[in-house]
Amino acid sequence: MKELPIGRYTNYDTFLHRLDARFKLLAMILFMVIVFLHFPSRAMDFTFYGILFLFIFIFLKIAKLRFRQLLRAIKPMWFMMVFLLIINILVVHTGDAFYLFSFPIYYDALFNTAYIFVRLVLMLAFSLILTATTKPMDLTYALEWYLHPLTWIKVPVHIIAMVISLALRFIPTLMEDTDRFMKAQASRGVDFENGKLKEKVKAIISLIIPLCTSAIQRSSDLADAMEVRGYDPNGKRTRYRIMKFTHRDLFSFLFIALLFSGALTLSILGIDFYMGILL
């Protein structure tokens, strides 16, 4: 339980924390696009991945996040990666190969796996940095801001945003509840780690049922509390916190825009720094 909150918001006051949530969301999307851009050669691809990793490293440093957290987030992926590698080795039969105990292994298979792995790690890292430096509430505001044009075609954007922010708000509560119920049932002799299938099922039931009932109870309480305080889903909403785009954001935006357009240009024009010498 204690290990779960990966990418949880950290309450520091750093440059990254102070950036506008709307900008951070956009920046993350742009970074993700760069991750999936195709460059004319593998050397170029991996050069860009290297640059992105450099950025991630700098961001982690600026935001006072620990590199260990990222490693912990990656850990569960090992099994998947090994699996993927085996599949790739069996399926991909193009390009050059070398022989391991007279079994042909193609370089393309290795590269394919490396691509998937690196891209996943990059995506994970960027989203982790985003959620660790942005309050969930600000993130929903940002989302609402981007979705705002949809109100013209009668999509109830602020209701959706409210639902999202309530759901986010309940995550820590539910985790606390889970922790408490696990301990309570453990005191009654439930063993959540060992035991036969039947005992395991019983253990899970002893956890799920209290969780569901307390979640339903809590949400109905919350609904009442909102109603008595005059919440009207269709009313016009004003905002307590006004988001402001500052010089800091502008500067960062220009920087990211430059990086993004540079990467895009190189990709579209197919420019290869290495003139095809490498890989």
Contacts to other proteins by CB under 8 A: 2, 5, 8, 10-12, 64-66, 68, 177, 180-181, 183-191, 193-194, 205-206, 209-210, 213-214
φ, ψ at 37 (rounded to 5°): -70, 150
How does DSSP assign 201-245, residue by residue? HHHHHHHHHHHHHHHHHHHHHHHHHHHHTT--TTS----SS----
Farthest-apart Cα atoms in the chain, separation:
75
Angle in degrees, 0-180, between the axes of helices 247-269 and 21-36, rounded to the nearest 10: 10
CA dihedral for 229, 232, 236, 239, sign (positive or negative): positive
CA distance 41 to 276: 7
CA distance 70 to 67: 5
Q: In sequence order, which ranges of 134-196 are alpha helices (DSSP H)? A: 136-147, 157-187
Contact between 69 and 127 under an 8 Å Cβ cutoff? The reply is no
Give least dist CB 155 to other proteins, A: 37
Nearer to other proteins, 40 or 210 (CB): 210
Angle in degrees, 0-180, between the axes of helices 21-36 and 107-133, rounded to the nearest 10: 180
Nearer to other proteins, 191 or 224 (CB): 191
Nearer to other proteins, 66 or 237 (CB): 66
Give least dist CB 131 to other proteins, A: 13
Give least dist CB 182 to other proteins, A: 9
Give least dist CB 71 to other proteins, A: 12
Nearer to other proteins, 11 or 234 (CB): 11
Give least dist CB 194 to other proteins, A: 6
Nearer to other proteins, 88 or 206 (CB): 206
Nearer to other proteins, 6 or 110 (CB): 6
Give least dist CB 201 to other proteins, A: 13
